[in-house]
Structure 1
Amino acid sequence: MTALKILVTGAGGFVGEALVFRLLAEREFSPVAALRGASRLCGLCPVVHFDLTNLKTLPPLDDVQVVIHTAARVHIMDEKSADALAEFRKVNVEGTLRLAKHAVKAGVKRFIFISTIKVNGETTGLGRPFTADDDPKPLDPYSISKYEAELALTQLAKNSGMELVILRPPLVYGPRVKGNFLRLLNALRVGVPLPLGAIHNQRSLVSVENLVSLIIHCIDHPAAANQTFLVSDGEDLSTTQLARRLSKALGNRAILLPVPEWCLNLLASILGKKAAVQRICESLQVDIGKNSELLSWAPPVSTDKALRRTASFYQQELTK
């Protein structure tokens, strides 16, 4: 049996690298890593240079049957561009569409696009999760560019016959995680008192292992063609619960101060940090029932196991 040749863009990133390592462990797949610089993958599988921000270059797609596109221009905390949306569009829309058209010409059968739950919106009412078929409501330049890419890819797929799969993950965590999740790990490790002891929201997260599992499930599943899926661990946590369970995974006890949410919101207004507190206090839930119905897929790794693996890797890195 010939292994399925798969190109993974963004293979030097958090999700892309984890995906390639998993594909290498499966005999039926032959991954090609497309990335911008040096990588731990060099020597383990074919590696090609591909920079999504360079609109003059495209990766070779000889015999590639599936493209999994994880590369993107993501959130930039200190955005300096006067027109942030134009910068996001240049990479996430124009760059993605150029790659997809290149894939069509090369005869690629399926294009899997890793989008974002922010296409659906920023928050949900408690107990009223987003579904894959909800009307999109992207609000910031990043999510708007991702949604515009989805629309362009959908039209291209209709006109060309190349199958399209869109996945919209919420916050992704796991070994090598960065950003706010890493900052939370750092604070919990050293025992910094955090004002997170009285937050009663519900947020969906997804471990990188569960996201990779769904991506692989969508590589050749017939029912995945031309569908959009949301993804999560299947268990929603409040910010308070997340901090406590992550602290437990680290082997210590979190110091969480029971500061009322109204107080956090007031402080955020004074300091101009409304968006940051929104992510801490408001709910964002997703319904993954469609994944079970169409794909017979369920998250293989529990939230607690994924948190333990994340904490264990984090602690091992500290000893190096």
Structure 2
Amino acid sequence: MHQFTPPPHAITHGSGPAWAVGDLLVHRVDETELPPPTGAWLLPDATSDVVDDAPWLRPDFATSDGALQLASHSFAIEADGLRVLVDTGIGNGKTRANPAWDHLDTPYLRRLTAAGFAPESVDLVILTHLHTDHVGWNTFERDGSWIPTFPHARYLVARAEWDYWAGVEMDEPRRQMFRDSVHPVRDAGLLDLVDVPAAGGEVAPGIRLRPTPGHTPGQVAVELHSGAHSAVITGDCVHHPVQLHRPAITSCVDIDPAQAIHSRRELLASLADTETLLLGSHFPPPTAGLVTAEGGTYRLRPVPGASS
């Protein structure tokens, strides 16, 4: 394993951007940009006036007319000889209620393999929560059946997340997602439910789950630590950098909006003015940055990745 120095530097590796966090190497594996109307639907209070109030959001995170830019991707981590994947996107060829996600066709697996993470080589898949755009590549279609994409991996889900969905009445689109992207993993014996204490818990060397409930009851952020270096993958605790400027902006699909705000404020306060790299699960490029306090709120100072 190569040695790297702080702060986390973007480096060229494989087919996409990567960041070094001490001895850990974090790759962004792109699936797709999300359509322009997504931001207004997902974060309806993030109006163009709000964007105007945070000029640093342009041009990377918002368009000239104030539309939010979002993306779907995974983070693939080399950690102490393990290959770890955080979230698996939307997936290909799946029936989805969202027209932009329905029967998607992207070269995601080729990109993942080019980054050095052939599906058979992945050891661990961490699912920050069980929403459609975070579990899709759990499986792929073969001969009319959905089978696990990562046959040698353990798939981790917080027990609180699993128990919530097991106890509620789901609509048909969500039941379909569980049938094609979650239950096949469970039925193959690859799913592990983990209890995540309030203080967080380690699931692999240098990788910890941090509870950030609200968007869903079992939503977690993923903390990375190596020596004096650290990073946090947001999951959907933070959908977009506009929520650094206005942490009280909630998502239309947050299950407990008040709890989501509380989790987001706690996370951002813990990161502000530190050298911990923030990696956004839906942030468009440059995707990563350092959180700084600014005028009673926060901003993101980008740490761009570099592509080969």
Structures share fold, TM-score greater than 0.5: no
* Larger RCO: 1 or 2 (CA < 8 Å, sep 6+): 2
Structure with higher Rg: it is 1
TM-score by length of 1: 0.29
Structure (1 or 2) with the greater helix fraction: 1
Structure (1 or 2) with the greater strand fraction: 2
